[in-house]
Amino acid sequence: MRWREGRRSEYVEDRRGSGGGGMGGGGFKLGLGGLVLAAAAYFLGVDPRLIMGIMQATQGNGTTLESAPVETSHPDDEAGDFSSAILASTEDVWSEIFAAAGARYSPPRLVLYPGGTRSGCGLASAEAGPFYCPADQRVYIDLAFFDELEQRFKAPGEFARAYVIAHEVGHHVQTLTGISDKVRAAQERGSKEQQNALQVRMELQADCYAGIWAQHSESAHKWLDSGDIESGLAAAAAVGDDMIQRRTQGHVVPDSFTHGSAAQRQRWFSRGLASGQVRDCDTFSAPSL
């Protein structure tokens, strides 16, 4: 993937090593139970904000996280530079799509942090994985997750990493277009099974939006190499609920899915990639996923 040729985003907050938002010696740290809960939040689909808020509220040891400065920066390491380039590409793509619809796209900020930091949704912990916080419209990621994606989930390659960022930006698009609010309101009225089913459609739409980004960015830059798309599809499959449940509990419980199966995630990413049209990502009207 020839990402080095692209521009860099002005909406990156690099909190690594700055002492502003990371966890120092007196910061919040998760015990073994917290690690398990946070892992469940990411891998099994529980909203990470719930776990982060609970753990932060019940810390009870008198230690606090320092407030992180709100500022932009230009990471000088390869992983940070890569993330900035991908974020810039999502800005270009979604700005163009919004403009065509007569609207203005307001980009999210990408927060790079080591271990943990504050977010508008509570404590951002590396163990919870990358996530989007609608409260402050930021994407949070500890870049060590990219190593985990390759080593633990067997999804190597730069495009697999780009897919992760594009998926989280897809959630930001859902926030800007009001989809997130409608889904949350419907979930509050529904049963647990209905809540899960709505969340699956939410996540699959973000996968489809990631596919839209891939199609538009490739058309603009011609920066994909042979095998890049396969890398993205491998990442989509690796974080399917069925794959994760087999890995963590040895069996699959479809009613508990919150992100979709490996096949569904690949299917909707591929649909966005082939179409490049937002109208083809309406997972909520689709009779089957």
pLDDT digits 0-9 by tens, 130-185: 999 999 999 999 999 999 888 888 888 999 999 999 999 999 999 999 999 999 99
Which range in 51-55, 75-79, 95-99, 188-192 is most confidently predicted, on average pLDDT? 95-99
User: Is 70 exceeded by the pLDDT of residue 33?
Assistant: no
Say whether pLDDT at 224 is over 60. yes
Query: What is the pLDDT, as a whole number, of residue 180?
Result: 96
Cα(24)–Cα(116) distance, integer angstroms: 10
Q: Is the pTM of this model over 0.85?
A: no
Task: Give the pLDDT of residue 34.
Answer: 42
Q: How confident is the model at residue 248 (pLDDT cuts 50, 70, 90)?
A: confident
Q: Give residue 17's pLDDT.
A: 76
**What is residue 75's three-state secondary structure?**
coil
Q: Which of 32-46, 77-91, 249-263 is least confident? A: 32-46
Contact 268, 205 (CB under 8 A): yes
3-state secondary structure of 173: helix
Mean pLDDT of the chain: 83
Q: Determine the pLDDT at residue 42.
A: 42
Which pLDDT belongs to residue 236? 86
Q: Is the pLDDT of residue 38 over 60?
A: no
- pLDDT attached to residue 63: 33
Output the CA torsion sign for 144, 37, 68, 105: positive
* Bridge partner list, 110: 12, 139
For 276: left if phi > 0, alpha if psi spans -120 to 50, otherwise beta; the answer is: left
At residue 54, the pLDDT reads 38
pLDDT at position 171, please? 97
pLDDT band of residue 242 (cuts 50, 70, 90) is confident
> Helices then strands (H, E): number in the chain?
10, 6
pLDDT tens digits along 260-287: 999 999 999 999 999 999 999 999 999 9
In this predicted model, which residue has the larger pLDDT, 31 or 150? 150
CA distance 242 to 198: 17
Q: Residue 70: its pLDDT value, please?
A: 53
The pLDDT score that the predictor gives to residue 81 is: 96
Give tens-digit pLDDT for 158-173. 999 999 999 999 999 9
pLDDT over threshold 80, residue 226: yes
Note the pLDDT of residue 251. Answer: 85
